[in-house]
Structure 1
Amino acid sequence: MQNIVIESRQLNMPKLGLGTWPMVGDECTRAVVQALELGYRHIDTAAAYENEDAVGRALVESGLPRKEIYVTSKVWWDKLTPSDMRRSFDNTLQALQSEYVDLFLIHWPGKGWDLVRTIETLISIKEQGGARNIGVANFPLPLLREVVEVMGAPLAVIQVEYHVSLAQRALLQYAREHDMALTAYSPLMRNKAAEIPAIRRIAEKHGVLPTQIALKWLLEQPNVAAVPKASSRANQSSNLASFNVQLDDDDRAVIASLPKDQRVVSPEYAPQWDPPT
């Protein structure tokens, strides 16, 4: 099955990727190989997931040319000095058994960090060819604006939690205005989206799964990608089949009416979040 891509001046990124957290080891390798066999071409990992080596094995075992697979990885928030970032990035490439990543993100804003030097290092990783594109994750809008407008960083992606119960309108509008994509992590609310009565009713109306409704709502939005974690063949296949679901205006109105302030990921090191809009 063909995976639709986000195409822009900077990007050619499949809209649906495979999230790999918290899979590790052989489980992760099997899941990634399986996803690639099914047609996924976007794999999302991170140093903090401790599974980049498992993803790397899957890339090799798949037999696919490296250029056909879009790989995203991330550097953790406590590794944002220039030397630590470069060491983390080198470890990422080694684990992935790859000469480059397609997208390299700062996973979370740092604490007491030198933002300018961090962003300079991120840009240099791109300029030196190690990352085809760069971006950030979990940055609130004021910080994202500073990085893009004040520092002039050529960011291609902002990755944040985004789903039917959490609004990200301000970030999404900003991303679109600046030729960026927004990648939604936890797009199924760690399976809680499937329990929402309104989502279940829409799914019953169309004869599909609630998860497919929640994913389709994201995937039909311009500049939005999603990286749901799925390990079983059934879940990977059903997520991929979300592209075939057809929502109507009534469905979208129902989803729009849901509370949009339900965040499922907010660790103690999280930044001050933007208010839902």
Structure 2
Amino acid sequence: MAFDALPPIGMGTFRLKGDDVREAVRSALSLGYRHVDTAQIYENEAAVGDGITTSGIPRREIFITTKVWFDRLRRSDLINSLQTSVQQLKTDHVDLALIHWPSPGDEVPMEEYLTALRDAQREGLTDHIGLSNFTCAQMDQAKQILGDTPIFTNQVEVHPFLANRKVVDHAQKLGIPVTGYMPLAVGKVMEDDILREIAKSHHATPAQIAIAWCLSRGVVPIPSSTRPKHQTQNLDALKIELTSDEIRSIDALDRNERIANPDFAPEWD
């Protein structure tokens, strides 16, 4: 199956290692997830690959995303690192390869790593290419460099306390779909009174409401969970329809609370 769009929800694997991630991926796929997100820096690609190959779900039905770390952005490093990722994931290609972070301080020119990523796509290492943690100006630059080659997504932090509105709106205006990582704000959504209140009226959990809110904005959420019960609830959030008043209430929770903000991050919008 060739995917022409991102599946509507993904299984995030950040901070999951070894047997934990093996079991979590296998469980998620058995419950109906078809999108698994990993990265070179997570050091779990081999275990994610185990979870996929032992799940019993045909490879062609699974959308696999990985991300190239910023110390591998030189042309030959990038291609070699993706070949290693593909081997560790026990497949012959990934569905989507992203640049995990723009090169800090533009040490490697964007033109070099984006054209290398496009070369990897032409060589069949990945079906699609995209970005992660790119600002509005960086997306404009990437679009200019890649020309007719579609940018499949910009994966950025999105949750009720960081709506990341400028970046989401700009990406969508450029025709770049947005993937939202940390949609549950590492569990903080469970403690919010407004989300709890809205959850109650839907017989749902605050986590499901946060995911439904992402979906209402056209953002593909990739929550991370090791428990089958929570994985099922996250999938069930696809069925929740929030009212415009509820969406406005959640929008008002935005306080620019950024969780992923390393010292090499770009200057955020």
Q: TM-score, normalised by structure 2?
A: 0.94
- Where do residues 244-259 of structure 1 align in structure 2 (5 Å cutoff)? 244-259=239-254
Distance 2:6 2:255 in 1: 27
How far the C-alpha of 1:220 sits from its partner, in A, is: 2.5
AA aligned opposite 1:196: D
Any idea what SS the aligned residue of 2:180 has? strand
CA contact (8 A) 1:81 1:113 kept: yes
Q: Distance in 1 between matches of 2:150 and 2:209?
A: 33
* Superimposed CA distance per residue, residues 31-53 of structure 1 (whole angstroms, 9 cap, x where no aligned partner): 10000000000000011000100
Within 5 Å, give how 1:14-163 maps onto structure 2.
14-111=7-104, 112-152=107-147, 153-163=149-159
- 2:103 match: secondary structure: coil
Structure 2 residue matching 1:192: 3-state secondary structure? helix
Please tell me whether the aligned partners of residues 153 and 176 of structure 2 are also in contact (alpha carbons under 8 angstroms): yes
Looking at structure 2, the residues matched to 143 and 61 of structure 1 have their Cα atoms a distance apart, in angstroms, of 39
1:15 partner letter: P
CA apart distance, 1:272: 0.8
DSSP-derived class of the 1:163 partner: coil
Letter in 2 for 1:60: T
Q: Alignment partner of 2:19: what SS?
A: helix
Is 2:167 the counterpart of 1:174? no
Mapped to 1, the partners of 2:155 and 2:175 lie a distance apart of 14
Match of 1:78, SS?
helix
Identity of aligned residues (%): 37
Farther off after superposition, 254-263 or 115-124: 254-263
- TM-score computed with the length of structure 1 as normaliser: 0.92
Query: Distance between the aligned counterparts of 1:213 and 1:85, measured in 2?
Result: 38
Count of matched residue positions in the alignment of Structure 1 and Structure 2: 265
Deviation at 1:168, TM superposition (A): 2.5
RMSD: 1.5
Q: CA deviation at 1:258?
A: 1.7
Q: Report the residue type matching 2:201 in the other structure.
A: K
Distance 2:244 2:112 in 1: 46
Residue 50 and residue 150 in structure 1: after superposition, are their counterparts in 2 closer, same or farther (change >3 A)? closer
Tell me, yes or no, if structure 1 residue 195 matches structure 2 residue 195: no
Alpha-carbon separation, structure 1, partners of 2:234 and 2:140: 32
Identify the range of structure 1 (70-79 vs 149-158) with the bigger mean alpha-carbon deviation: 149-158
Pick one of 226, 229, 234 that aligns with 1:234.
Answer: 229
Take 1:195 and 1:182, find their aligned partners in 2: how far apart are those partners? 26
1:194-233, aligned counterparts within 5 Å? 194-222=190-218, 224-233=219-228
- Alpha-carbon distance, 1:177 to partner: 2.9
1:158 partner SS: strand
CA distance in 2, matches of 1:226, 1:216: 9
Deviations 1:11-43 (A, max 9, x none): 322111000111111111111000000000000
Amino acid paired to 1:149: Q
Provide the C-alpha distance between the structure 2 equivalents of 1:219 and 1:196, rounded to a whole number of angstroms: 19
